[in-house]
Amino acid sequence: MSLFRSVRRSAGLSDRRELLATLNELSQSARRGFDRESAGHIAQAVMRLLDASAVAVTDDASLLAQAGSEVRWQDTIAERTASVLERRRSSRPTFYDMVIDRQTVSVAVAVLTSDDLPVGTLHIVTANDTDLDLGELEELAALISTQLALAELEQSRVFAAEAELRALRAQVSPHFLHNALTAIAGLVNTNPARARELIATLAEFLRVTFQPKQTMTTVAEELRLVEAYLELEQARFGDRFEVRLNIAPETLVVGIPFLTIQPLVENAIRHGLETRPGHGRLTIVAEDAGPEIAIHVEDDGIGIDPERLRAAMEGADETVHVGILSVDTRLRARFGAEYGLTISTGANAGTKATVRLPK
């Protein structure tokens, strides 16, 4: 009998909606990771699902949380957990005896895993010492283990995204800094007031870029950073390219990973417009798209070779198109695979980079 049908017959879970809510709560708790807080939620949900009188959740050595009737788990839990894990009984749950209030009761135990490695155990005492179907417990432990593995994967993606951001900050283009300082130096004698303004702009750009621990910002704040970047670039390029903005006001307050738009603008200038003969155009659009917003950074430059773009997006070519892999990685880590970066381009056809964000 499946876990679903079995718990449907439980006195407290006859209603399907309540069952689904409890299963969802269990999944969400496990997806938070494996610590004392999530273990507490897991214990409560398991107690309801299996009609248990007491539940304990451990890591690989000690008690993390318990629910239900007062049981002195601390007296034996470490020894029992070590015994189960040492014997590597991770494939099927089993029983052991435990004395509670001077009575010997059977305790069901299942191993919790992440990527097939044991990370903890689940101990169940059924209400009124009724029988527990070990098949049901196996299903439930498998469900929790799957969510723990997903939580670990998501955490590794977050760590990867944070590492990408640190790397992006560390590689603030030497090309850009050299050219900005050269442009400022050229104005020191001819237009010292403008040189001072650009020094202040560069200082503010660097201050914001290297703010510690900032991983999220708003579209409005990101566009202010882009504005500072463009002011410095246009001091060098003069009127070689124009900038067009079309920003829907409702997009300005939407949260966005820090350094999302600026790297796209930098790539548009460095790899599209800088080597383009004649006058160029850079267009930045932020538009309302129902439950989402869409941000487009488009140039009419020389375009990107599709093979080099593919290599850059796969991390195989780190010498061109600064930051686009980082932008894509961090968008996917934050919002899911459906919110990655998309780029349309072709030789001498310009480039359009698009970012979609949930509101």
Reported for 104-113, long-range contacts at CB under 8 A and 24+ positions apart, including other chains, are 105/129, 107/80, 108/132, 108/134, 108/137, 109/80, 109/84, 110/137, 110/138, 110/140, 110/141, 111/84, 111/85, 111/141, 112/34, 112/57, 112/141, 112/144, 112/145, 112/148, 113/145, 113/148, 113/149
d(CA 268, CA 280) in angstroms, rounded, equals 11
| Cβ pair 32, 38 in contact under 8 A | yes
Predicted confidence at residue 196, as pLDDT, reads 92
252, pLDDT greater than 70: yes
Pick the more confident residue, 281 or 72. 281
Predicted confidence at residue 1, as pLDDT, reads 43
Predicted confidence at residue 103, as pLDDT, reads 76
Band of pLDDT at residue 298, cut at 50, 70 and 90: very high
Give the pTM. 0.56
Residues ≥6 apart with Cβ < 8 Å to 75: none
Q: What is the dihedral of CA 316, 318, 320, 321, to 10 degrees?
A: 90
| Lowest-pLDDT range of 123-127, 165-169, 232-236 | 165-169
Mean pLDDT value of segment 149-172: 59
| Cβ pair 257, 205 in contact under 8 A | no
The string of pLDDT tens digits covering residues 35-52 is 888 888 888 888 888 878
Helix, strand or coil, per DSSP, at residue 172: coil
| Lowest-pLDDT range of 144-153, 155-164, 226-235 | 155-164
For the chain, give the percent of residues with pLDDT over 90. 19
| Lowest-pLDDT range of 1-10, 184-193, 305-314 | 1-10
| Lowest-pLDDT range of 100-109, 211-220, 296-305, 319-328 | 319-328
Q: Is the dihedral of CA 118, 77, 43, 65 positive or negative?
A: negative
d(CA 110, CA 124) in angstroms, rounded, equals 9
Band of pLDDT at residue 306, cut at 50, 70 and 90: confident
Predicted confidence at residue 287, as pLDDT, reads 95
Mean pLDDT value of segment 88-114: 77
Report the range out of 110-124, 136-150, 155-169, 192-206 with the highest average pLDDT.
Answer: 192-206
Mean pLDDT value of segment 82-108: 74
Pick the more confident residue, 238 or 20. 238
244, pLDDT greater than 80: yes
Q: C-alpha angle with apex 169: 166 to 175, nearest 5 degrees?
A: 145
266 burial class (0-12, 13-18, 19+ CB within 10 angstroms)? Answer: buried
322, pLDDT greater than 60: no
Full set of structural domains in the chain with CATH = 3-156 (3.30.450.40), 171-358 (3.30.565.10)
| Lowest-pLDDT range of 6-15, 311-320, 346-355 | 6-15
Predicted confidence at residue 326, as pLDDT, reads 79
Pick the more confident residue, 99 or 33. 99
d(CA 34, CA 62) in angstroms, rounded, equals 13
171, pLDDT greater than 70: no
Return the H-helix or E-strand segment holding 295: strand 292-299
241, pLDDT greater than 60: yes
DSSP code string of 108-157:
EEEEEEETTEEEEEEEEEEGGG----HHHHHHHHHHHHHHHHHHHHHHHH
d(CA 305, CA 291) in angstroms, rounded, equals 33
Pick the more confident residue, 228 or 156. 228
